[in-house]
C-alpha cells in the first residue's frame, strides 16, 4: 500500500519507460544557468563561464546507467528513509537518491533488509549505500541490493562516527587503503551495476595544504583504479567531521586528477552554494546532505538552477506544516505509534518560519500521540490561513 506521499511523488515523476535513462544521447548537455530573473548580470556572466553540465554515464561490469540529474541526495542515517525520499522526489523526479546506510554484516544476519527490499515499490533511481570492513560480506550485500532493484551500489568510506570507523568501516577504511581497494574490487566483481564510493579527503589534516591535496588525490586514485565508477568527495577529513569549511579546492584537485566523474559534497545548502562549488571544483555534480533535513525541496531547487529552469519557490510556513502532517501520517501508517518518535526530528526541522514557531515546536514535541500531534499541526495551519 502506497502512502499519500508516495502516490503524489508517482503522479509528478516522469514515466521512465517513455524516456529510458540509459538510452539518452551521450552528447546531450545542459548548461548551468542563473537561478532567477533577479540575479545580477555579473553573476550571470560568471555562470556562463562554467563547463557544461551533462548527463553522467556510468558503466558497471555488465550494466550501464545514465544519470539525468547532476544533483544527488546524500544517504542520511535515520533520515533518508522511503518516506523522506518520496518527498524529495516531488521536486526532483530524476535525482539519484539513496537508502540509509546499510551494514553488510547486519544484512547477512537478516537485519535491515527492509531498507533494501522496499526499493521495488519506488520510482526513479535509488542507490543502496553499504558499509562494512569485510569484502565478502560487502559483495554478498551488493548482490542482494542489485537483485532488489538498486540503480547502483555505493560504498561508504566517509562516515566519521567512531563506532563505525573503529571497526574498520566508513571513514576507517581511509586508514587501510589496501582493504578499501579489496572491498571495491570484490563488490565490483559481484554485481553488474556500477559501483561508486563516497569518501572524505583523508583521515586527519596534514599541516601543509599541498600535502593535504596530494594525499587526497592519491587516495582517490586508488579507489578509481580498484574499480569505482564515480566518487563523491566530502571536502573535509575524518578528523574534522562536520566542523570548519569544506575544502572545495581539494575537491578540484581530485577532479583534475581523475578520469571518472567526481561529485562534490560539503557545505552545499542552496542553489548559490552549488553554483559556487561547481565554479571552484569543476566537479560533475553535487551531493546535498544535511541541508535537506527539513527541506526536501532543496535537491529540486538546485537541479533547476543548474539546468536553467525556473527554481521552485521555497514552501511557506503553512505549506511546511502540511508537509509535516503528511510525513507524520505516512510514518504512522508504516511504523505505528513509533512513527511519531521518528517524525519528531523531521517536524522540528520543518515547522519554522512563522511567529511563535519555537514555542509551537516545543508543544509539538511533547504531543504524546500521533492524533494529538496532527491536531496541533492542523490548528497551526488554520491560524496561518
Report, as residue numbers or ranges, the catalytic residues.
159
- CB-count burial class (<10 Å; 0-12, 13-18, 19+) for 41: exposed
Q: Show contacts of 18-27: CB within 8 Å, 24+ apart.
A: 21/65, 21/66, 21/67, 21/68, 21/94, 21/125, 22/64, 22/65, 22/66, 23/66, 24/55, 24/66, 24/68, 26/55, 26/57
DSSP conformation letters of 25-44 = -TT-EE----SSTTS-HHHH
Q: How far apart are CA 329 and CA 335, in angstroms?
A: 10
H or E element at residue 281: helix 271-281
Q: How far apart are CA 298 and CA 315, in angstroms?
A: 11
Phi (first) and psi of residue 301, to 5 degrees: -65, -45
Q: How far apart are CA 273 and CA 286, in angstroms?
A: 10
β-bridge mates for residue 154, sequence order: 129, 196
Q: How far apart are CA 159 and CA 165, in angstroms?
A: 7
Length of the chain: 385
Determine contact, residues 171/129, Cβ cutoff 8 Å: no
Q: How far apart are CA 300 and CA 317, in angstroms?
A: 19
Q: Backbone dihedral region of 144: left (phi > 0), alpha (psi from -120 to 50 degrees) or beta?
A: alpha
C-alpha cell at position 67? 544519470
Q: How far apart are CA 176 and CA 44, in angstroms?
A: 44
Amino acid at each position: 500500500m502506497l502512502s499519500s506521499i508516495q502516490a503524489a511523488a508517482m503522479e509528478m515523476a516522469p514515466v521512465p519507460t517513455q524516456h529510458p535513462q540509459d538510452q539518452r544521447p551521450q552528447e546531450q548537455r545542459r548548461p548551468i544557468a542563473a537561478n532567477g530573473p533577479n540575479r545580477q548580470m555579473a553573476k550571470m556572466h560568471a555562470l556562463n563561464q562554467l563547463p557544461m553540465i551533462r548527463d553522467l554515464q556510468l558503466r558497471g561490469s555488465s550494466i550501464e546507467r545514465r544519470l539525468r540529474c547532476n544533483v544527488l541526495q546524500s544517504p542520511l542515517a535515520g533520515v533518508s528513509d522511503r518516506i523522506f525520499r518520496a518527498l524529495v522526489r516531488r521536486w526532483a523526479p530524476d535525482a539519484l537518491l539513496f537508502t540509509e546506510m546499510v551494514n553488510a554484516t547486519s544484512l547477512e544476519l537478516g537485519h535491515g533488509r527492509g531498507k533494501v527490499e522496499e526499493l521495488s515499490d519506488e520510482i526513479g533511481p535509488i542507490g543502496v549505500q553499504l558499509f562494512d570492513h569485510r569484502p565478502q560480506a560487502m559483495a554478498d550485500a551488493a548482490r542482494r541490493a542489485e537483485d532488489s532493484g538498486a540503480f547502483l551500489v555505493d560504498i561508504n568510506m566517509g562516515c566519521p562516527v567512531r563506532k563505525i570507523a573503529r571497526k574498520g568501516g566508513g571513514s576507517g577504511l581511509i586508514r587501510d587503503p589496501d582493504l578499501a581497494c579489496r572491498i571495491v574490487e570484490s563488490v565490483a566483481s559481484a554485481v553488474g551495476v556500477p559501483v561508486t564510493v563516497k569518501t572524505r579527503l583523508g583521515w586527519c589534516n596534514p599541516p601543509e595544504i599541498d600535502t593535504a591535496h596530494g594525499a587526497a588525490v592519491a587516495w582517490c586514485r586508488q579507489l578509481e583504479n580498484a574499480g569505482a565508477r564515480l566518487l563523491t568527495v566530502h571536502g573535509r577529513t575524518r578528523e574534522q567531521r562536520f566542523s570548519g569549511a569544506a575544502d572545495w579546492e581539494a575537491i578540484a584537485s581530485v577532479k583534475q586528477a581523475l578520469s571518472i566523474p567526481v561529485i562534490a559534497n560539503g557545505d552545499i545548502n542552496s542553489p548559490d552554494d552549488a553554483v559556487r562549488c561547481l565554479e571552484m571544483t569543476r566537479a560533475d555534480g553535487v551531493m546535498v546532505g544535511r541541508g535537506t533535513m527539513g527541506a526536501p525541496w532543496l535537491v529540486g531547487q538546485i537541479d533547476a538552477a543548474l539546468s536553467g529552469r525556473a527554481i521552485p519557490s521555497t514552501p511557506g510556513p503553512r505549506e511546511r506544516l502540511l508537509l509535516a502532517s503528511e510525513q507524520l501520517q505516512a510514518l504512522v501508517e508504516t511504523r505505528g505509534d513509533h512513527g511519531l518518535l521518528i517524525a519528531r526530528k523531521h517536524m522540528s526541522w520543518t515547522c519554522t518560519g512563522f511567529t511563535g514557531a519555537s514555542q509551537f515546536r516545543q508543544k509539538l514535541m511533547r504531543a504524546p500521540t500521533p492524533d494529538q500531534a496532527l491536531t496541533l499541526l492542523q490548528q497551526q495551519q488554520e491560524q496561518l490561513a
